[in-house]
Amino acid sequence: MRPIFLSLCLVLGGCLSAPDAPPVAQADVLKPGDALRIIVAGEEELSGGFMVNSDGNVHMAMLGTVPAAGLSPPAFQDKLRQLLAAGYLKTPQVVVERVAMAAPPPLRQSESGQ
C-alpha cells in the first residue's frame, strides 16, 4: 500500500507545479494616453514628462520610438535600461513613473437615454 501512495504523490506532485510568474493586471499596464515621468540619472535630455501615444509608443531622444503599451511601468523601465545600455550609456539608472492614467472611454447611453 505504501509504494502505491508514494507513487501517487510523485505523480500528483509533478502536476502541481507553480506558475512561472503571476499575470499582470490590466490596470498595471501602460496604455495610449498614459502620462509618464522618466528619469535617467545624469541625462537631463533623456529625462522629463512623456506621453504614451495613440500607437502605444513613447518617443525619446537618442532611442527614437519605443513600444510601451502592454508593459507595466517596471517592465518599461527595464526595457529602457537595456536599450540605453546597448550603446548609449555604460550603466544607465532609469526610473519610470506613471503620473496620470489615460482617461477611460466615454460611456455609451442607450437610445432610451438610460
Distance between CA atoms of residues 21 and 11, nearest Å? 23
Architecture of domain 26-100: 2-Layer Sandwich (3.30)
Q: Which residues contact 65 (CB under 8 A, 6 or more apart)?
A: 57, 58, 59
pLDDT at 10: 44
Q: pLDDT tens, 11-28?
A: 444 444 444 555 555 668
Q: What are the domain boundaries of the chain?
A: 26-100
Low-confidence ranges of the chain (pLDDT < 70): 1-27, 110-114
pTM, 2 dp? 0.70
Distance between CA atoms of residues 61 and 57, nearest Å? 13
